[in-house]
Chains A and B, each alone.
Chain A
Amino acid sequence: MLEHNRTNPVITIVFILGSLACLIPFWLILMVSLSGQNALAKYGYSFWPREFDLVAYRFLIHDAEPILRSFGVSILVTVIGTAVSLLVTSALAFSLSRQDFPYRGAVSLFVLITMLFGGGLLPWYLVYTKFLHLQNTLFALIVPGLLGAFNVFIIRTYFTTSIPPSLIDSAQIDGASEYRTYFNIIIPLSLPVLATIGLFTIVGYWNDWFTSLVFINTDKLYNLQYFLYNTLMNAQYLQSVADKAHIDAASLQVQPLEELRMAMAIIAVLPVALVFPFLQKYFVKGLTIGAVKG
């Protein structure tokens, strides 16, 4: 192995190009968000604006209250949701990982089916509003994302492959209950997979706008992505409405500036980009996938 201590330069070049390809679009929207409106109309989008203008960000700061609030909602939902989700998902995965768990095959199938069949929008809405009465609460934003079958299986696979059963066995011979085994032995040993799934969940919550659209009617509880979606979509939507209703779209005055949309996109991406490097080191270890039957 000694002779291979340096990376092949061809590989390095491939990866540098690959990384650039992934970063460049973000750079482009960042630069558009910093461009002046007239320069945009004249010269188009470019990687280095001819005229810098912070008007989009100034506008965002000026109208900061709703953005900050939606930011707060997003963070709250993401933090609580991710914590509860990890607990519930890993607990289910723990039971499923135990070969001696009665009916584990049936329960596995029960979980698997949800991966192939989902709920429809309307019945799903009815369950949440008529049965659980969660509309217009933060629960409506949290509960839908709590458990994903895919995550259960990833965690389950990690438990069966990376935690020696003898460890569980000896703990239980020492008189540890299942709960203590789970909390004191399994969880501390599973940081890589929990970090990985945690990041998925964080991203899932952070990027979710649809639940907000469906269940939230008060702007106090809008999350950031919905706020962003709304700004982006309103512009597109109003254009078509204006044609049909014979009204002037501009007079509806929700038409945001190009650079404002881009600035909002940047703001939405930022937190994910920031939290990402801290969790990234667990990724490779945590992401092992095994068959459902286990």
Chain B
Amino acid sequence: MTVRYTIGLNVAEGFIVLRKYITVGISLIGITLLAWVLRDRLTLANFAMIYILVVLLIAIRLGTIAAMSAAFISFLSINFFLTQPYYTFIVADSRDVIELIVFIVVAALSGQLGARARQQTQEAQQRAYEQEILYRLTGSMNQATDFEAVYKALTQVMRKDLHARQAYILPYASEPRRTDETVLFLLLQARDRIYGTLCVAFDTALSTQQLRLLRTCAAQAAMALQRIELAEKARVSQQYEEADRLKTAILRAVSHDLRTPITIIKTSASNLRTLGERLQVTEREELAATIETEADHLNKLIGNLLDLSRLQAGALTLNSELNSLEEVAGDVAARIWQTTGRERIQITFPDDMPLVVFDYGLILQALSNLMDNALRYEPADSQIEIQGCVNQSEVQLRVINHGEGIAPEDREHLMEPFYHGGDGHIGLGLPIAKGIIEAHHGSLWLEDTPGGGVTLVMALPLDS
């Protein structure tokens, strides 16, 4: 890339160069004046030391060219003003000639060294600056989970740190429409894949270092984009795998568990139709009632299957609000009274039980599933307890059953979908409850009830 200066830049740059030489001139005139005043009291070696010091300082502050000029001017000044005969470039004493030659060599060398030290410091600073920008960029890009976030981090660095007038990302490969050193189009490319084009416009053309930094930023962004793309691909393929496993399980469930209620409905309905008047009234009523209960059963099963597939596909949207767990427990208890006609549940909540953010319908479903499970193993003469409590940063709902407990080998499979726990019951309730609770960033686990039985503990975070 050729560097093309605008007129404005020329003036500014020229001014800086001019100021440099004015500084050199003033320093040398000052020091020469001082030496001239003191020339009878000091020796040539003294002056030489002072001049070398000045040359060194100039080298450190202003660089090689200024230092070299200063060394040469110093040489001339000493020769002209400070060696006899004064005001000529003739040197009378041959010892002075040696001193002068040594002076010019030492001045030139120290000027070189000083200037190099200066250059190295500057380079180190520049590198540190670049490192810092890159560090910040990669830091914010590592947290990015989508392309937009990476685009945003990149354009932000362009605007804030590189002072770009304009910076945006085109999501495809593109070329600039006109050639202009202040407008740059950089491909965001990792291996063979192009993720877009970074378009930046600056007020002035960039230096080599700035260009290098720009390219590094673009390369980092491309790598971040690639990482996100790969992670997304992995997630999708994992979902496909899960969905596939689920599909097999659903098919198995359809063939076993869904067919049962359908068979019952079908036989009841055909009995009603074909036998009709030949049946007694009570029998007809019983058949009709069976159709209704089995339809409800089927409805619940299908609802569970739908919830499960939604949970596993990550497609569950929460309708989260501040809700009362006590209300959920009340609903579940009332439903169980309505189906069993008996007081099977004892509810205990502390008076200061806080509201928690959750989806009412889903948590109701989860608790119903836990209750169904607990009730199935509850002895007929005892009651299930539902206890609410606050435990540090979470609220817990404990469903306490007093049955026989679960065999250790069953326990670890209990939360897996379609696990038949020996009693032939389709195992969907607990995995769905677990899925729902985890979708709320909570957790579900089993504990032993003191004195026998299983306690299911549902915990939801308080601060979400």
A, B: real partners = no
**A residues whose Cβ falls under 8 Å from a Cβ of B:** none
Chain B residues with CB under 8 Å of chain A are: none
